[in-house]
């Protein structure tokens, strides 16, 4: 759960961002609603006021002019434009048809820009309006006529104050929304941290339990779902702690039983071995059936002696009683000597120059001996090759055979106690040799691996470090540290 414990941080971020997103969507919705309402209100108010003024101009001021102007020039001379503007800030365009148009200087030629739909409404004798830019100025145009005869009058009101008010509203809403999001971001972080604090505590407790601290617990409190989760996690941790305690106690009893049995068997087995060695010379004089029984008896006694010795050695590993004793060793001469003693027929390849390393010779002898014994037992009458070679940051000792090999799925289990891959590799071994070799390799800071050999067989690789090694021992102690040489 190394990386898994980072989940609360990611979840806190997602929860905070979700809250901020909800606030942002809410603020945006409110802002859009407020803006739309204000925009509609301001424009409706301006249209209402402009229509009242246009109605007054068309129904009161225009009929009051006597004689009524019938041309644009007469309209300009009548004083109506000034009268219209006096009642409000409005500019007037009068269209008498046939190109006879009155327009103030700033709107000269602007009649052609007026919305055709508005012009059609005015021509039908109705009052209409349009929002549009006229001569580059945002405007509200109210159009109408008095009766069925020209002129068509267009009253142009400056709409820039409305646009400016709306622009200021947009800026204000955007600023308020940004502030709201920032406040929501801070608040969401605080809220998410508070909500997920129990999850973080559970993650810490789970990490401690995973690292072996079965006494770790999650602080529990409250009545919500997270408090219930903490309670259940604590109950699970307590159950796990009790179960592990029972298993460790049972395992300890089993190990002690094995050690006691092996120790108790050692003395009578020693006597049996001595007795077997006494009768072996006389086996040749016995009848064939008796001689065969005697030979089998002697062989079984020796195998039982080996099994008991292996069990005692395993029990010392379990009791954490083994400590390495490092010294400088000429690996080339050492490997050659062990191969000659354990398997004289093996082909040995070592460098011509001395290759020195700091290691425990007794344990190295045990490792190589067990590997060679394994090759002799399971790869009978096939070539076995032993090699020594320097590699980066270490040296590698290889034992390769041409035996039947093992299935790929069995490779990870070869160094387990009492493991036997298949009937073709059972032989008469105890199934402890490779497990003992792996334990010794661990104690001297080496690594022991097995892999299939192309063409059949197995390759065992023992890698020894050449840098100074501090051996980690069970129980937290450290073994001897000495510089290695290559």
240-318 and 327-476 have identical folds? no
Convert the pLDDT of each residue in 269-283 to its tens digit: 667 767 667 677 777
357: β partners:
329
Residue 140 and residue 88 in contact, taking contact as beta carbons nearer than 8 Å: no
Q: Which CATH architecture has domain 6-166?
A: 2-Layer Sandwich (3.30)
Convert the pLDDT of each residue in 78-90 to its tens digit: 888 888 887 777 8
**pLDDT score recorded for residue 462:** 92
**pLDDT score recorded for residue 15:** 78
Instruction: Burial-class residue 400 by CB neighbours within 10 Å (0-12, 13-18, 19+).
Output: buried
Alpha carbon separation from 180 to 21, 22, 187, 189, 190 (Å, rounded): 11, 11, 10, 14, 15
Classify residue 380 by its DSSP letter.
T
User: What's the alpha-carbon Rg for the chain, to the nearest Å?
Assistant: 51
**pLDDT score recorded for residue 48:** 92
Report residues of the chain scoring pLDDT below 70.
1-9, 195-196, 220-227, 251-252, 254-266, 269-270, 273, 275-276, 278, 285, 317, 320-321, 421-430, 466-486
CATH number listed for the domain at residues 240-318: 1.10.287.130
From the list 32, 64, 302, 319, the residue with the least C-alpha distance to 166 is 32
Residue 186 CB: number of other CB atoms within 10 A?
Answer: 11
Convert the pLDDT of each residue in 122-147 to its tens digit: 888 888 999 999 888 899 999 988 87
Rounded CA separation 258/348 (Å): 38
Rounded CA separation 204/210 (Å): 10
133: β partners:
138
Full-prediction pTM beyond 0.75? no
Q: Where are the beta strands (DSSP E) in 122-274?
A: 128-134, 137-144, 152-158
The correct answer on CATH 3.30.530.20 for the domain covering 327-476 is no
206 membership: H or E segment, kind and range? helix 160-210
Rounded CA separation 202/205 (Å): 5
Domain spans in the chain, listed from the N-terminal domain onward: 6-166, 240-318, 327-476
């Amino acid at each position: 759960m190394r990386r898994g414990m980072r989940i609360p941080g990611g979840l806190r971020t997602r929860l905070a961002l979700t809250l901020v997103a909800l606030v942002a969507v809410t603020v945006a919705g409110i802002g859009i609603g407020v803006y739309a309402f204000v925009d509609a209100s301001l424009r409706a108010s301006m249209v209402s006021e402009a229509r009242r003024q246009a109605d007054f101009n068309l129904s009161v001021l225009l009929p009051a002019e006597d004689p009524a102007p019938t041309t644009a020039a007469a309209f300009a001379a009548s004083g109506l434009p000034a009268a219209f503007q006096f009642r409000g800030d409005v500019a007037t365009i009068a269209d008498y048809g046939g190109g006879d148009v009155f327009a103030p200087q700033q709107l000269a030629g602007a009649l052609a820009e007026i919305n055709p739909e508005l012009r059609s409404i005015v021509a039908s004798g109705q009052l209409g309006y349009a929002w549009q830019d006229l001569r580059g100025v945002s405007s509200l145009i109210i159009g109408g006529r008095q009766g069925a005869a020209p002129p068509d009058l267009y009253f142009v009101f400056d709409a820039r104050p409305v646009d400016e008010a709306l622009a200021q509203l947009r800026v204000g809403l955007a600023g308020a929304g940004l502030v709201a999001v920032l406040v929501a971001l801070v608040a969401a972080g605080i809220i998410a941290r508070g909500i997920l604090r129990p999850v973080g505590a559970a993650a810490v407790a789970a990490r401690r339990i995973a690292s072996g601290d079965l006494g770790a617990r999650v602080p529990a409190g409250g009545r919500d779902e997270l408090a219930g989760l903490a309670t259940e996690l604590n109950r699970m941790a307590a159950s796990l702690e009790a179960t592990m305690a029972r298993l460790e106690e049972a395992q300890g009893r089993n190990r002690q039983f094995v050690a006691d049995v092996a120790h108790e068997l050692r003395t009578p087995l020693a006597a049996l071995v001595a007795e077997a060695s006494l009768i072996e010379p006389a086996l040749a004089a016995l009848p064939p059936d008796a001689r065969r029984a005697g030979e089998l008896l002697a062989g079984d006694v020796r195998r039982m002696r080996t099994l008991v010795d292996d069990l005692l050695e395993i029990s010392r590993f379990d009791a954490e009683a083994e400590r390495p004793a490092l010294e400088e060793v000429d690996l080339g001469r050492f490997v050659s000597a062990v191969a000659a003693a354990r398997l004289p027929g093996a082909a040995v390849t070592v460098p011509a120059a001395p290759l020195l390393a700091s290691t425990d010779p007794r344990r190295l002898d045990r490792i190589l001996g067990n590997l060679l014994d394994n090759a002799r037992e399971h790869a009978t009458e096939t070539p076995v090759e032993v090699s020594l070679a320097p590699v980066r940051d270490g040296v590698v000792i290889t034992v390769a055979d041409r035996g039947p090999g093992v299935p790929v799925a069995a490779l990870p289990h070869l160094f387990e106690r009492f493991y036997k891959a298949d009937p073709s590799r059972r032989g008469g071994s105890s199934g402890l040799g490779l497990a003992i070799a792996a334990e010794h390799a661990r104690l001297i800071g080496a690594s022991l691996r097995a892999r299939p050999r192309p063409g059949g067989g197995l390759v065992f690789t023992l890698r020894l470090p050449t840098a100074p090694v501090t051996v980690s021992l069970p129980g937290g102690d450290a073994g001897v540290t000495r510089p290695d040489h290559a």
